[in-house]
Structure formats: C-alpha cells, structure tokens
Amino acid sequence: MKILVCIKQVPESNRVEVDPVTGVLKRDGAASKMNPYDLYAIETALRIREEKGGTVQVISMGPPQAQQVIREAFAMGADGGVLLSDRKFGGADVLATSYTIAQGIRACGEFDLILCGKQTTDGDTAQVGAEISEWLKIPSVANVTRIQKVENDGITVAMDLPGELEIVKVKYPCLLSVDKDIFQPRLPSYVRKMNTKDREIKVLSLADMEDRDEKHYGLNGSPTQVQKIFPPASNDRKETWEGSGEELADRLFIRLGELKFLAPGPQGGGNSELVAAAAGEKDRRES
C-alpha cells in the first residue's frame, strides 16, 4: 500500500499581532514547527502501514527550510519525502496551493491513500485537502475520527457528523482528512533521526510539474486576494450585574439568547435530544 501524507511547516507560535496604527504584522519569533494537526495524519499513516505493510511518503510545500518538517516525519517513521519549493509558488491561496500540491503528487507517482490533517494552525481554512482530492479526481472523506478496517480495495472509516457517525467505505485511491485525536501521535525518534540523517529529500520546482504554466501557481493562480489584515476587535468586556435573583436570571436568559446559546442544536431538531438524554440520566439515577 502506498500512502502519502500532506504536511506543512507553520509558525511555532500563533501569537501574531497587527499594529493597529501601521498595519504591520508582528510575529512572535521566527521559529517554526510541523502543523500540529498533521501529526495525527502521519500517525494514522504509520499505523496503517504497520498493519498492512507498504510505504509512507510525505509531501510539503514551502521554502527550502520546510525540509525540516520532512526530516521530522522521517524521525516519526515516514519512508520518504518531497518538498515543493519555488518562488513562483509564493502567495498562493487555497486554490493555487491545492493545485500545486496536486501537481506535485502527480509528479511523484500513484498513491492508494492520501492523508491530510484537519487544518493548519496558520491558515485555519480546512479546505486544502478537499481541493486536492478534486484536482486528483479521487473521492475524499473529511472529519475521519476512526479507521475501522483497511482492506485491499478500500478503507472503512468513521466520519464525524453532528449527532452521528457515518461509517463509510472508500475505494482507493482516495483522500482522508483525519480529526485531531484520532490517535495520539508518536514522538520523533532519535534513533530514526540519526538513521535518516542523510536520506535525500526530493525538491520539486515548477519545472518538474506536468503543468508549467506559471499563471496557475502562486499569487497568479489565486482567485482570492487579501485586501488587508487588521487586529480583531478586542474581547475584554466585563460587566458586573447586581439585583434580585429573579432580575439576574432574566438578564442572564436574555444575554444567552443574544449570544445565540439558546438557538436550536446543530441538526435543527433543537437540543431536545440532549435534554432528553440529560433528563433520562437523572431519571435513571433516581430510580
């Protein structure tokens, strides 16, 4: 079985600030790390390999320093890695990023299973995985919380929906985006780090792609444009309420409504089921 995991290097800290006056983005140090959500995808891939055999490759897109996260994947147990790196890939939005990665995947050959993390901690879009699957014309399942069964022709997984789990079987080749906590990711191993120290990381640029039209990559291949960035409205409100119990309860009720905590539950059926469940719990305890 050939497994590919898409990974990304992200800033070590999410503590970014925008200077409200100058609009300059201030980042807390330049240190970077592997996107934490990708660790779950790597762990899932390694466990499937341990059960079924095969290989686990990783692919990333970014500047040359992003090789670091590929090395880290090696230390966790990945067998090989590719970095897509070219100045012309810079400034890419979701569409251009997913297109670049899909082109990169094509350049690396065929895979049975492609795994992605839920989202990245810098972009936060959770969209790149699904768009890659579209470019590759393969089926995809997101919000995978469990791997049920790995067979020779496909994989059975649980997709998390509000209120229920959908158990689906997907035929290979396919792409899965796994949820946080599907498995506890293993730590990188010093032994493997030493053993893979000299392992080659393939670096692909635009020239290595099937489609070399630079209009499809980077900023030029991006339909969306960032107009500006600005700091979020601060959330340091504080209110002290005094009054009779009745008054306070009524105010609390109204404010909960304004904050949309009284709206129906996630599937439109209201939260009656949860209430019933809570009430049921109570009844059982009392009986």
Partner 1 sequence: MGYKKFDEQDLAYLKELIRDEERVLAGNEINEEYSHDELSGTSSYPDVVIKVKSAGEISEIMKYAGKHRIPVTPRGAGTGLVGASVAMEHGIMVDTTLMNHILELDEDNLTITVEPGVLLMELAAYVEEHDLFYPPDPGEKSATIGGNISTNAGGMRAVKYGVTRDYVMGLEVVLPDGKITWFGGKVVKNSSGYDLKDLMIGSEGTLGFITKAILKLLPLPKKIISLLVPFPSLQKAIDTVPEIIRSKALPTAVEFMQREVIEDAEEYLGKSFPDKQSDAYLLLKFDGNTTEEVERLYDRVARLCLEQGALDVLISDTEEREESIWKARGAFLEAIKGSTTYMDEVDMVVPRSHVNEMVTYLHSIQKEVEIRIKSFGHAGDGNLHAYVLRDGLSDEVWEQRMHEAMEKIYQKARKLGGQVSGEHGIGFAKKPYLKESLPEASLRLMNGIKKVFDPENILNPHKISEE
Partner 2 sequence: MAKLIVHQDKIPDPQKLIALCPFGAMEEQDGKVVIGSGCRMCRMCVKKGPQGAVEYIEEEEGPKIDKSAWKGIVVYVDHVDGDIHPVTYELIGKARELAGVTKEPVYALFMGQGISEKSRELLHYGTDQVYVYDEPELARFQIEPYTAVFEDFIRKVRPSTVLVGATTVGRQLAPRVAARMKTGLTADCTVLEMNADTDLSQIRPAFGGNIMAHIKTPNHRPQMATVRYKVMNAPERMEEVSGEIVPCKISREKLGSHVEVLDIVRKEKEKFIENADVLVVAGRGVKKAEDLDMLRELAGLLGGQLACTRPLAEAGWLDAKYQIGLSGRTVRPKLMITVGVSGAIQFVAGMNHADHIFAVNKDPKAPVFKTAHYCLVGDLYEIIPRLIEKLKGKRGA
C-alpha span between 223 and 275 (Å, rounded) = 45
Which listed range, 35-43, 49-57, 69-77, 233-241, lies at the site for partner 2 (CB under 8 A)?
Answer: 233-241
188 binds partner 2 (CB under 8 A): no
φ, ψ of residue 97 in degrees (nearest 5): -65, -50
Q: Is residue 60 involved in binding partner 2 (CB under 8 A)?
A: no
Buried b (16+ CB within 10 A) or exposed e, 139-174: ebbbbbeebeebeeebbebbbeeeeeeeeeebebbb
- Our CB check for partner 1 shows the closer of 110 and 181 to be 181
Decide: helix, strand or coil at residue 32: strand
Q: Within 13 Å, how many C-alpha atoms sit on residue 113's CB side?
A: 32
Does 205 engage in binding with partner 1 (CB under 8 A)? Answer: no
Interface pick for partner 1 out of 184, 225, 235, 244 (rule CB under 8 A): 184
Q: Is 186 in the site for partner 1 (CB under 8 A)?
A: yes
For position 241 contacting partner 1 by CB under 8 A, the verdict is no
Residue 229 touching partner 2 (CB under 8 A): yes
CB of 62 to partner 1, least distance (A): 17
Q: Which stretch binds partner 1 (CB under 8 A): 150-158, 169-177, 184-192, 215-223?
A: 184-192
Among partner 1, partner 2, none, the one that 199 touches (CB under a kind-dependent 5 to 8 A) is: none
DSSP assignment of 48-81: HHHHH--EEEEEEESSGGGHHHHHHHHHHT--EE
- Choices 34-42, 47-55, 90-98, 189-197; region in contact with partner 2 by CB under 8 A: 90-98
Instruction: State yes or no: residue 191 binds partner 1 (CB under 8 A).
Output: yes
Site string for partner 1, 11-40 (x = CB under 8 A): -x--------------------xx-x--x-
Q: How do strand 80-84 and strand 202-204 relate by DSSP bridges?
A: parallel
Query: Is residue 146 at the binding interface for partner 1, with CB under 8 A as the rule?
Result: no
Q: How far apart are CA 89 and CA 100, in angstroms?
A: 8
> Is residue 210 at the binding interface for partner 2, with CB under 8 A as the rule?
no
CB atoms within 10 A of CB 64: 10
Find the binder of partner 2 among 76, 195, 269, 287 (CB under 8 A).
Answer: 269
**Burial track 214-246 (b if 16+ CB lie within 10 A, e otherwise):** eebbbeebbeeeeeeeeeeeeeeeeeeeeeeee
Of the pair 109, 268, the CB lying nearest partner 2 is at 268
State the DSSP H helix or E strand holding residue 26, giving kind and residue range, or none if neither.
strand 25-27
Window 156-175: residues binding partner 2 (CB under 8 A): 156, 158-171, 174
Given the rule CB under 8 A, which residues bind partner 1? Answer: 12, 33-34, 36, 39, 75, 184-191, 193
